[in-house]
Structure 1
């Protein structure tokens, strides 16, 4: 099993630089892939349909959204982008849900990542810093399936896809980066303070409702808009809709600022995790 220097001693000081993080991810790439595959397959182990559920779940949710919002609520997105078809609200909402689920799956799991893998900390030579990365890849797998369902539905409803969909990896990358930073912090704190898992659930719910998932941003009163914009999900959701639904180019300046901030958070989270991990074995 590949491992970084000092991994054999849980009390040894660990490197905290971005270069060290890059080396760890590269050296352990096969382990990361293997554990990601195992976790994805394990989630559906024992079910008759197996991995097919990863496809049918988002299909089912999109059908439900379309029915509820277009037939019962008669909801529309207000004609933004020049299109206000019957199913448009459900498709636009689904973009927000994909972004939200990518973030919240990792964010909610993070406090328990180390607690659920105590044997890796105490008994096995294992690079525990990759656990949040594995959780992110699992979440990303399901998000990509949902994204495929979304694009298929959009093409079916509208008869075309915007060429700007090619920018969606650039939109999601800073969200992945900042989420990993938060995951490293929460995974560490979760070892020493078990209540953090309960707090994270509350924060996740607050972030969901304070992001434009179920409503357009222009419906938010001006005095409350700074609160919504402070939500790290808001910018990504809006930009994802711009390239996927409305066919607009990303806000490059905003994306650059967000990516820079996300990189700082990721490095700080990784550094915090590496500085505190030497106490994991004592607590666990």
Structure 2
């Protein structure tokens, strides 16, 4: 079998074969970022707690914001913070992976020289590390929701269903950026600007229903609109997955992942020459 095959079977085989290596590297990555700090891994808990407090104060006290259209607004300030935080953790999962993607190969240049090392797993390692922080944030969200609202919707168990196609989409984008970033170093400088723009264009601080009808079609072209809205539905509003939309998004995410993997495999031959 060609070691640089673009076949989906080749990808699945590599991920299954190297699953333990990915988990080990992801664990080291998640813990390593706090190495040497006084609080250590406790920062993974403290950071989302701090952000939840900031969101609650700024948007409920300073901006006096409420969620929804007139007559259907959330009355509780704490509830508004939960709604906001639910959208933010979905976006943060995407932004953490994508912002790191352009430098993944460059920051692991020692692996490029090793022909036997499966470079294609590096975006998966970054994703697993980001999922650890996502799970911590999601746990804090659910505890806060239970304390503020007195209950957690049973539909919250459907969150992994929403996450699955989002993770597939993230991998596709990460493979594209990781490979392109080797040859085009400027991409790592511009990706932060694009992510910031995408944050304000995504339905994190507003529901899509609040937009004028003529603008909603553009909102749904945003690849983060579906996972943010559906994640909020199952975590906060107690609504189930819209399966028709889920299937469409999953098919698109799968296509992006395959194209990203194909691009990565086609360009990886030159990594050693550039790095």
TM-score > 0.5, shorter chain as reference? yes
2:181 is the alignment partner of 1:207:
no
Contact 2:233 2:240 in 1 (8 A): yes
Deviates more, 1:69-78 or 1:165-174: 69-78
Q: Residue by residue, what CA displacement relative to the aligned partner does 1:45-104 show, whole Å, maximum 9, x if unpaired?
A: 011111111011101111111122222222110379785322121110101110110001
What is the DSSP-based 3-state SS (H/G/I as helix, E as strand, rest coil) of the residue aligned with 2:224? helix
How much is the aligned-residue C-alpha RMSD, in angstroms?
1.6
Deviates more, 1:162-171 or 1:75-84: 75-84
Q: 1:172 aligns with which of 163, 166, 176?
A: 163
The Cα shift of 1:229 comes to 1.2
2:67 is the alignment partner of 1:77:
yes
How many residues are treated as equivalent by the alignment?
Answer: 274
Moved over 6 A (4+): 79-82
Map of 2:251 onto structure 1: 260
Contact 1:188 1:276 in 2 (8 A): yes
Structure 1 distance, partners of 2:100, 2:5, is 25
Q: 2:8 aligns with which of 18, 25, 40?
A: 18
Map of 1:9 onto structure 2: none
Scaled by the length of structure 2, the TM-score of the pair is 0.95
Deviates more, 1:196-205 or 1:259-268: 196-205
What is the DSSP-based 3-state SS (H/G/I as helix, E as strand, rest coil) of the residue aligned with 1:227? helix
2:169 is the alignment partner of 1:182:
no
Map of 1:107 onto structure 2: 98
Contact 1:81 1:246 in 2 (8 A): no
Contact 1:239 1:250 in 2 (8 A): yes
2:112 is the alignment partner of 1:91:
no
2:28 is the alignment partner of 1:38:
yes
The Cα shift of 1:113 comes to 0.4
Structure 2 segments unaligned to the other structure (5+ residues): none
Scaled by the length of structure 1, the TM-score of the pair is 0.92
Q: Residue by residue, what CA displacement relative to the aligned partner does 1:33-54 show, whole Å, maximum 9, x if unpaired?
A: 1111111111000111111110
> Which structure 2 residues correspond to residues 211-222 of structure 1 after superposition, within 5 A?
211-222=202-213
Deviates more, 1:74-83 or 1:158-167: 74-83
Contact 2:79 2:149 in 1 (8 A): no
